[in-house]
DNA sequence: ACATGTGAAGTTATTCACAGCC
DNA sequence: GGCTGTGAATAACTTCACATGT
């Protein structure tokens, strides 16, 4: 059960938290962490793979695989030590100095996301929100100060923001994305019903709600 | 370039729109359709794979693969006929008689989704929204009538609703999911920050916004 | 020249299944 | 008995590369 070494593209050897973790696994690790923290019966001391699987809708084997790449190791009689697990997940996912994000478009969707992040994530904080509507700029919504989009470049640079969340109407999404990238953001989470393009150096995740809806409708019929 | 037949798990032969299409491809087909309909320069007559790829952030080869399974066939000089393409996508994704959905939780997120669907999708309609707050029940929000959750089972049955969208706080998500399933829904789209469980006969998609955010933050660092 | 259609290859993700341990 | 750790098998998804058609 030694810590497994992974071979990186370059040929170099990288261990544990240093290795690049596949997308889906990153998402699940984030989920495991939240599930454990939010457990209604208080955070347990230890957890079995099949319990985590049941809580997250996966399989026990998948959970074990995911945890394997972190180098966490469980006991056959007690499962995984939750404290250790959380520490290893944090080590893998979090930037030690923390990361800053901003959100553009303080409509219903933007407000919903701001409220999700109001209970401050220690290592990932939404530092600013931007809108064009003077009715919201200047206000503090869900604990986040809203400013005019005119100040976007300035604020992104000053606050060291590396992640941008786009919750504007579809026809403005690409323009906002371009400005965010120009200002130095390297990750984009786009909720507009239209994919955005960015240079290869920027990671883009499009959350297409309409497409998800149609996907669910499609598979809802095939069961 | 004959229409390819697909072999189903059972061993039977299934053609074109009858075959079960993989998840990611369903999502992209939905995206292609919306992109073509919403083209700012008006809907083109024909489109090349590389143009669709640029618009959706994929590759030309991937677009061709996706379209291949629909049995659409393009011309080497003009690309794909958009009318034909849309018709084939509809045939693959849409239930001919239409499908009905409902949404539970008319907060900021729920309202955002209702407004996305206000411009009525012909084949997938949100027929009802539910909430516990008497301030919203009885009102029409973004074209959708809001009712008390007490009437959920009744309305789901009466309106023939097969898809449920969950936009309630995390601690109520599982309870809502159970009630929807009990009432006969076979597809769930869950936005609560906690995965929901359902029987195998129900298709569940969890859209974990927090996990997506952490995923973007993670990959934003590694570029 | 340039685009499609598609085997073949490559990559990533999931599941199986079982040895070893408590 | 039930659980972890993991090689091996399988499945899902993407890219390559090129024959073919215009």
Which residue(s) pair with B101 in the sheet?
B126, B163
Determine which helix (DSSP H) or strand (DSSP E) holds A182, and give its type and residue range: helix A170-183
Segments in chain B below pLDDT 50: 1-17
Residues 22-51 of B with CB under 7 A from strand C: 48-50
* Contact assessment for residue A183 and residue A157, using Cβ atoms and an 8 Å cutoff: yes
pLDDT at A3: 35
- Nearby residues of A202 by Cβ (< 8 Å), 6 or more positions away: A181, A185, A186, A187, A188, B220, B223
- A23 to chain B, any CB pair closer than 8 A? The answer is yes
Q: Both tokens of residue B223?
A: 């570029």
* Contact assessment for residue B46 and residue B81, using Cβ atoms and an 8 Å cutoff: yes
* Contact assessment for residue B141 and residue B159, using Cβ atoms and an 8 Å cutoff: no
Nucleotide C4 C1' to residue B219 CA (A)? 35
Dihedral sign (CA A83, A84, A85, A90)? positive
Interface-testing mutation among B199, B220, B221, B223, with chain A (most A C-beta atoms within 10 A): B220
pLDDT at A197: 94
> Over the stretch B78-92, which tens digit does the pLDDT of each residue have?
999 999 999 999 999
Determine the residue of chain B that is closest to A57 in CA distance: B197
- A8 to chain B, any CB pair closer than 8 A? The answer is no
* Contact assessment for residue B155 and residue A185, using Cβ atoms and an 8 Å cutoff: no
- B52 closest-nt by C1' vs CA: C3
Q: Taking the CB of residue B187, how many other CB atoms lie within 10 A of it? A: 26
Largest CA-CA distance found in chain A, in angstroms, rounded: 60
Nearest CB to B163: which of A56, A109, A220? A220
CA distances from A96 to A30, A164, B218 (A): 16, 19, 12
Rounded distance between C-alpha atoms, residue B223 and residue B221, angstroms? 6
Supply the mean pLDDT for chain B.
90
Which residue(s) pair with B190 in the sheet?
B166, B206
* D strand bases under 7 Å from protein CB: 2-7, 12-17, 20-22
- A5 to chain B, any CB pair closer than 8 A? The answer is no
Which residue(s) pair with B165 in the sheet?
B103, B189
Residues in chain B closer than 8 A to A214 (CB atoms):
26-27, 30, 93, 124
Cβ contact B76 with chain C strand, < 7 A: yes
pTM of the model: 0.91
- A99 to chain B, any CB pair closer than 8 A? The answer is yes
Is A116–B210 a contact, with Cβ atoms under 8 angstroms apart? yes
Q: What is the CA radius of gyration of chain B?
A: 20
pLDDT at A223: 77
Cβ-count burial of A196 within 10 angstroms (0-12 exposed, 13-18 middle, 19+ buried)?
buried
List the end-to-end C-alpha distance of chain B, in Å, as a whole number. Answer: 41
* Contact assessment for residue B173 and residue B158, using Cβ atoms and an 8 Å cutoff: no
Residues in chain A closer than 8 A to B160 (CB atoms):
none
* 3 state SS for chain B: CCCCEEECCCCCEEEHHHCCCCHHHHHHHHHHHHHHHCCCCCCCCEECHHHHHHHHCCCHHHHHHHHHHHCCCCECCCEEEHHHHHHHHHHHHCCCCCEEEEEECCCHHHHHHHHHCCCCCCCEEEEEEEECCCCCCCCEECCEEEEEHHHHHHHHHHCCEEEEEECCCHHHHHHHHHHHHHHCCCEEEECCCCCCCCCCCCEEEECCHHHHHHHHHHHHHCC
- Lookup result for tokens 């076979």: B186
- A149 to chain B, any CB pair closer than 8 A? The answer is no
Determine the residue of chain A that is closest to B194 in CA distance: A35
pLDDT at B20: 83
pLDDT at B191: 97
pLDDT at A18: 59
pLDDT tens string, chain A, 223 residues long: the values are: 333 343 333 333 334 445 789 999 999 999 999 999 988 788 899 999 999 999 999 999 999 999 999 999 999 999 999 999 999 999 999 999 999 999 999 999 999 999 999 987 889 999 999 999 999 999 999 999 999 999 999 999 999 999 999 999 999 999 999 999 999 999 999 999 999 999 989 999 999 999 999 999 999 998 7
* Contact assessment for residue B211 and residue A30, using Cβ atoms and an 8 Å cutoff: yes
Among B94, B50, B46, which Cα is nearest to B70's?
A: B94
SS3 assignment, position A148: strand
Is B212–A189 a contact, with Cβ atoms under 8 angstroms apart? yes
- Lookup result for tokens 């973004």: B142
- Nearby residues of B48 by Cβ (< 8 Å), 6 or more positions away: B60, B79, B80
- B205 to chain A, any CB pair closer than 8 A? The answer is yes
Nearest CB to A203: which of B115, B204, B216? B216
pLDDT at B40: 79
Among B77, B78, B87, B83, which Cα is nearest to B43's?
A: B83
B83 phi and psi, to 5 degrees?
Answer: -60, -50
- A119 to chain B, any CB pair closer than 8 A? The answer is no
CA B200 to chain centre: 19
CA distances from B119 to A43, B123, B142, B156, B162 (A): 44, 12, 9, 22, 20
Dihedral sign (CA A156, A158, A162, A165)? negative
Cβ contact B54 with chain D strand, < 7 A: no
């Amino acid at each position: 059960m030694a810590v497994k070494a992974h071979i990186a593209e370059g040929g170099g050897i990288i261990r544990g938290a240093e290795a690049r973790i596949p997308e889906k696994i990153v998402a699940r690790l984030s989920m495991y962490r939240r599930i454990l923290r939010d457990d209604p019966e208080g955070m347990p001391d230890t957890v079995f793979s099949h319990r985590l699987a049941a809580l997250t809708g996966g399989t026990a084997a998948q959970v074990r695989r995911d945890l394997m790449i972190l180098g966490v190791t469980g006991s056959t009689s007690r499962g995984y030590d939750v404290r250790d697990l959380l520490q290893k997940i944090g080590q893998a996912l979090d930037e030690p100095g923390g990361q800053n994000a901003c959100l553009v478009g303080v409509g219903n969707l933007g407000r919903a996301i701001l409220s999700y992040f109001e209970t401050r994530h220690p290592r990932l904080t939404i530092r600013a929100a931007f809108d064009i509507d003077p009715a919201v700029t200047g206000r503090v919504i869900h604990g986040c100060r809203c400013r005019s989009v005119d100040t976007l470049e300035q604020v992104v640079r000053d606050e060291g923001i590396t992640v941008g969340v786009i919750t504007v109407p579809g026809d403005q999404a690409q323009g906002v994305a371009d400005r965010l990238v120009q200002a130095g953001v390297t990750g984009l989470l786009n909720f507009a019903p239209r994919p955005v393009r960015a240079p290869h150096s920027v990671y883009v995740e499009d959350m297409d709600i309409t497409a998800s809806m149609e996907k669910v409708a499609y598979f809802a019929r095939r069961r």
